[in-house]
Amino acid sequence: MGTISVGKLAGYSLMFGPVIALICYFIAPGGALGIGGQIEPTNSAEVLAVTSGDYAYLALISSLILPVGLLVFISGLTFFARSMEGGNGYAIATLGIPMLLVAAVGWVLVSGITLGIASGQITEGALADVSLSLNLMSGLIFGVGAFLVTYAATTRPDGNSKFTCIASLAAAVVAVVSIISIVAPDQAKLMSMVTGICFVIFTVWSVNTGRKLTSD
| 1 part of a folded domain | no
The CA distance from 155 to 157, in Å, is 7
Is residue 204, in this structure, part of any structural domain at all? yes
Q: What is the pLDDT of residue 160?
A: 55
* End-to-end alpha carbon distance in the chain: 21
> What does DSSP assign to residue 151?
H
Structure confidence at residue 37 (pLDDT): 74
Q: If you count them, how many residues does the chain have?
A: 216
- Residue 119: inside a domain: yes
Q: How many domains does the chain have?
A: 1
57 found inside a domain: yes
Q: Look at residue 143 in the predicted model and tell me its pLDDT.
A: 94
pLDDT in tens, the chain (216 residues): 457 788 899 999 999 999 999 999 888 888 777 777 777 888 888 888 888 888 889 999 999 999 999 999 999 999 998 888 877 788 899 999 999 999 999 999 999 999 999 988 888 888 888 998 999 999 999 999 999 999 998 887 765 578 889 999 999 999 999 999 888 887 877 788 888 899 999 999 999 999 988 886
Query: Which amino acid is present at 194?
Result: V
- C-alpha span between 130 and 27 (Å, rounded): 21
Residue 216 lies in a domain: no
pLDDT at 145: 94
Alpha helices in the chain (DSSP H): 6-27, 44-51, 56-82, 90-118, 125-154, 162-183, 188-215
State how far the Cα of 2 lies from the Cα of 95, in Å rounded to an integer: 35
Rounded CA-CA distance 94/190 in Å is 32
Q: Is residue 90 part of a domain?
A: yes
Look up the domain containing 71 and give its range: 6-211
- pLDDT (0 to 100) of residue 46: 86
Q: Which amino acid is at 59?
A: A
What was the pLDDT predicted at 1?
A: 45
